[in-house]
Amino acid sequence: MNLRTKVPLLAISILLSTTLVSGVILLFMLRVNMESEAKLRAKTFLDALAVSATEDLATGRIDSLDRMVTTLTDYDLEQLDVRFVQVLSPERRVIAHSKQFYYGRVADDEFSIEAVNADEPILRDAYQNKERILMVSRPLVTQIDDLPGIRWGTLTTALGLDRLQRMMAHSLIGIITGVVLASILSAALLISLLNTQLIKPLDNLTEAAASYGHGNLGTRAKIYGKDEISMLATTFNQMADTVENHTRNLEFQILERTHELQSANKLLADLNERLNELAITDGLTGLFNFRQFQDTIRKELVRAKRLRIPFSLLAMDVDFFKQFNDTYGHPSGDIALKKLASVMKERLRESDILCRIGGEEFSAILPGTWHEAAIGLAQELRMSLEKSELINEAGQKIPGITISIGVATFPDHADNVSDLINAADSALYLAKQRGRNQVASAANISKIQG
């Protein structure tokens, strides 16, 4: 099978598959919408009927109720038709029925029993004589303000859905017809377009290449326009000119240029990789920097919303870091920050994203972590750092550092990035207010504000 056959067949197959799937989806949506509308109309019909029925029952006008019910089988709901309407007493006795011979009987069918015992309306599909029907019920209750309601009875009806099924069948025929016609027209247009824009230029280019390969160095491809195939034909012609003029030197030039290009690409790839690493990494601690933190937390929020899972944020700050620097010097401060980064990598999980926001401020993004678990991880981190020792550049022991941590969780405390960061920062500020070297929860902020 050549390209002239493969390309149109592949394109037509994709087109037919796409059109068929679209038709099936459209039919399914049509069915769901029509059934939903039918149920809504049925419920509205019963709600309207319940107003008069409740009033007649409450005032004892059974004759008026009976006259209303016996005429309802002629009522048209556009997509439905009323098969019967009945009013049941709390004891399931038929008070009124669209078919008079049911009057006074006790309704013992499953739906009537369920409807009389239910406090809310019921809608249920059923089959009667192999025909699909919709059973609907509604309690008849009067209620004044907050006083307990009086239940006078239950209104039930059966509505035929065969009209809906006929409409679905007509819609199916219309959709299939439309799909077939659209596929035929689209296929014809696609074949014509492919033949003009792709097959014919490719055939021309193939013939030119074959002729050139047999030694006809004067052969050139025809150029039809400015698309990619025309650009390819132009390149082919340029190559033919070059080969014709520089046959002896071409192989050497190609090998030399290829080697140079490979070397340049490798160097460029290495430089790009290093540049990307520097752009997202903090030079001192090796953690992600503030720029990467902003990008990562936005992506994590999108992922958490899509998968409906939580994630937590730890906002951390080294306690009295300025005094530490002033006392032991900036080199020791750098050692302390590196130590904090090392403890974070040891105590937190591989899936957690560790960042240095700036100075002595750090953050950790904990994917898939509920608030209680995040509080536990934060406490482990704080206690591990508190117990760690620091050795300065001279090999001398110096006092260790402590951190204060604020914890906030999506979606418990915020549903967007800005609010989540603010919640974690507020919890961090609370931890510092309480004396530092501790963990505070954003939930405590909510309680204090409340």
What does the domain layout of the chain look like in residue ranges?
3-167, 290-449
Q: Token pair for residue 268?
A: 């460029």
Beta-carbon contacts of residue 127 (< 8 Å; ≥ 6 apart):
133
- Over residues 392-442, the pLDDT tens digits come to 888 888 888 999 999 999 999 999 999 999 999 999 999 999 999 999 999
Shared fold status for 3-167 and 290-449: no
Q: Is 2 helix (H, G, I), strand (E, B) or coil?
A: coil
- Determine contact, residues 202/3, Cβ cutoff 8 Å: yes
More confident residue, 127 or 227: 127
Confidence band, pLDDT 50/70/90 cuts, at residue 146: low
| End-to-end alpha carbon distance in the chain | 75
Q: Are 405 and 436 in contact (CB under 8 A)?
A: no
Residue 313: pLDDT over 70: yes
pTM: 0.43
Tokens (6 digits) for 372: 């209680």
Which regions of 161-270 does DSSP assign to beta strands (E)?
Answer: none
- Over residues 259-289, the pLDDT tens digits come to 777 877 887 777 777 677 778 999 999 999 9
Say whether 141 sits in a helix, a strand or coil: strand
Its CATH architecture, for the domain 3-167, is 2-Layer Sandwich (3.30)
Per-residue CA distances from 78 to 72, 75, 162, 176 (Å): 14, 9, 12, 25
The two structure tokens encoding residue 127 = 């089959």
State the DSSP string of 187-224.
HHHHHHHHIIIIIHHHHHHHHHHHHHHTT-TT------
Distance CA(382)–CA(402), nearest Å, equals: 7
The pair of three-digit structure tokens given for residue 22, joined into one six-digit string? 């679209």
Local structure of 365: helix, strand or coil: strand
pLDDT of residue 394: 83
Q: Which residue has the higher pLDDT, 230 or 391?
A: 391
- Quick: pLDDT tens for 88-104: 888 888 888 878 788 88
C-beta neighbour count of 335 within 10 angstroms? 18
Burial (Cβ within 10 Å: 0-12, 13-18, ≥19) of residue 442: buried
**Is 426 exposed, middle or buried (CB count within 10 Å of its CB: 0-12, 13-18, 19+)?**
buried
pLDDT for residue 103 = 82
Q: Region 41-70: what's the mean pLDDT?
A: 81
Chain Cα centroid distance, residue 319: 41
Q: By the 8 A CB rule, do 99 and 184 touch?
A: no
Please say if the pLDDT value at position 449 is more than 70.
no
Query: Comparing C-alpha atoms, which of 352, 21, 412, 415 is closest to residue 179?
Result: 21
* Cis upstream peptide for 411 (omega within 30°): yes
Separation of alpha carbons 210 and 205, rounded Å: 9
- Quote the tokens at residue 225: 């326009």
Choose among 362, 366, 369, 370: nearest CA to 296.
366
The CATH class given to the 290-449 domain equals alpha beta
Q: Per-residue pLDDT averaged across 435-450, rounded?
A: 79
